[in-house]
Structure 1
Amino acid sequence: MNIKQTATAFVAGASLLTLSACVTDPNTGEQRVSRTVLGGAGGAAAGALLGQVIGGKTGRLIGAVGGGAVGTVVGYRIDQQIKELREQTAGSGIDVTETDGGSAILVNLPDGVTFATGSASINPAFQRTLDDVAANLVRYPNSLIDVYGHTDTVGSRSFNQRLSEQRADAVSRYLISRGVNQARIRSQGFGEDQLRVQTGDNVNEPLNRRVEIKIVPLSNEEIQQARQ
């Protein structure tokens, strides 16, 4: 699959207030207000504020639900999925963080272990780790998945743009080959347009070479509306 579309913002004016009960964050052990996205009365409002997705969220959600790609997980918590991803990828170089104000997940695949220099072929030694990521995405089907490719500024802009697209597409296709429904996934290459660090010293440049997997959870309300 090779889908490259301009990411569009999905903006709503509702407040991101979900369940008010306090829970223990499995990542920190701290008590805080629950960020549960699914199953609550505030699910629709929360879903409306879930950042940007490639090509727009509404059409993709309808297509994914219609194609049977999206399910629901009873009692789903985004922090639990983050915890599992971190445990499954520990020691691999993958960085798992929250994004969009804690309403989505960003999985950062480092260039040095994911791809050889200038290549869009996934290193065989890294495939087992990607298998674990794919298994997690299959286990939590109630989300849309964006895969972003990024490069540094070494080489021509046109080469970097093409390489970023090829790498994002390679990761997308690998996840699909491991059971992630392709209707949930879109990929896009940004080339050198979204640098993490501004540098030309070739020391910190590797930080700019990365593929990111963004996981955007969906609410039960959104899924039910799409089914109608």
Structure 2
Amino acid sequence: MKKLMRAAMAIALVLSVAACTTTNPYTGQSGISNTAGGAGLGAATGAIIGAIAGGKSARVEGALVGAAAGGLLGGGIGNYMDRQENQLRTQLRSTGVSVTRNGNQIVLNMPNDVTFGVAQASLSTRAMQVLNSVALVAKEFNQTRLNVYGHTDNTGAAQYNLELSQRRADSVSSYLYSQGVNGTRIAAVGYGLTSPISSNATEAGRAQNRRVEIVLSPLN
């Protein structure tokens, strides 16, 4: 009975954390923090695992203990990505690179005017400065995977754009590696013209589609 009460207290603490809200300092909007959201997700997962392990009476206690342990794990991942996001926003402020959070993923959108010349795959000096900052954070948060995605507009042949986007993704990947980021954490993929984020009917839209994205996510 005492074990059951302790487990209940633990899960109550985790779920109270998961119910907390936070205000995004960049948008001014309030919502559940990523740390708290991770704790809630972890708690639910842990509860399921805990409930499976044991007989009828053990399942109740197992669910509670599993929820508490899972909540701490999920909250830890969310907190890790929160801190990394804050560092990236600080480092990349006023560089022209946007930082977007999507669950436990952080997306860095590097527009083409920051990274490459027209039809070129050689990094500009400005791009190197940006990637120096990204590498600095990536080395500090070394449990993160970096997926580098190259994209183009629809000007020219599809095969040419695919090859150009791959060369650009490779250039970004190679530079990050040269700055000390472990190569096993980096992958580079070119998508050519297949993943536009705006209409290719206007120059402004095509400019948005010419980009390199670095998507950071937890290794585990």
Task: Say which SS state the counterpart of residue 163 (structure 1) adopts.
Answer: helix
Task: Say which SS state the counterpart of residue 142 (structure 2) adopts.
Answer: coil
- Within 5 Å, give how 1:148-227 maps onto structure 2: 148-218=149-219, 222=220
Structure number having the greater helix percentage = 2
Matched residues in 1 for 2:100 and 2:183: separation?
23
Show the counterpart of 2:91: 88
Greater C-alpha radius of gyration: 2
Show the counterpart of 2:34: 35
Percent identical? 37
Equivalent position amino acid for 2:151 in 1 = H
Is there any run of 5+ residues in structure 2 with no aligned partner, and where?
Answer: 1-14, 47-75
Matched residues in 1 for 2:78 and 2:201: separation?
47
CA offset digits 1:41-67 (Å, max 9, x no partner): 928959xxxxxxxxxxxxxxxxxxxxx
Matched residues in 2 for 1:142 and 1:202: separation?
39
Show the counterpart of 2:130: 129
Task: Say which SS state the counterpart of residue 34 (structure 2) adopts.
Answer: coil
Equivalent position amino acid for 1:98 in 2 = R
Q: CA RMSD in A?
A: 2.9
TM-score, normalisation: structure 2: 0.69
- Residue pair 2:163, 2:192 contacting (<8 A) in 1 also: yes
Q: By how many angstroms is 1:103 displaced?
A: 1.9
Is there any run of 5+ residues in structure 1 with no aligned partner, and where?
Answer: 1-16, 47-72, 223-228
Q: By how many angstroms is 1:131 displaced?
A: 0.2
The one of the two structures with greater contact order (alpha-carbon pairs below 8 A, sep at least 6) is 1
1:78 to 75, 81, 92: 81
Equivalent position amino acid for 1:35 in 2 = N
Q: By how many angstroms is 1:115 displaced?
A: 0.4
Task: Say which SS state the counterpart of residue 193 (structure 2) adopts.
Answer: coil
CA offset digits 1:159-183 (Å, max 9, x no partner): 1000000000100010111111000
- Equivalent pairs counted in the alignment come to 175
CA offset digits 1:61-83 (Å, max 9, x no partner): xxxxxxxxxxxx99943222222
Equivalent position amino acid for 1:27 in 2 = P
Matched residues in 2 for 1:186 and 1:93: separation?
23
- Within 5 Å, give how 1:38-49 maps onto structure 2: 42=42
Task: Say which SS state the counterpart of residue 204 (structure 2) adopts.
Answer: coil
Matched residues in 1 for 2:177 and 2:93: separation?
23
**Is the deviation greater in 37-46 or in 23-32?**
37-46
- Residue pair 1:26, 1:80 contacting (<8 A) in 2 also: no
Matched residues in 1 for 2:142 and 2:43: separation?
16
- Residue pair 2:24, 2:30 contacting (<8 A) in 1 also: no
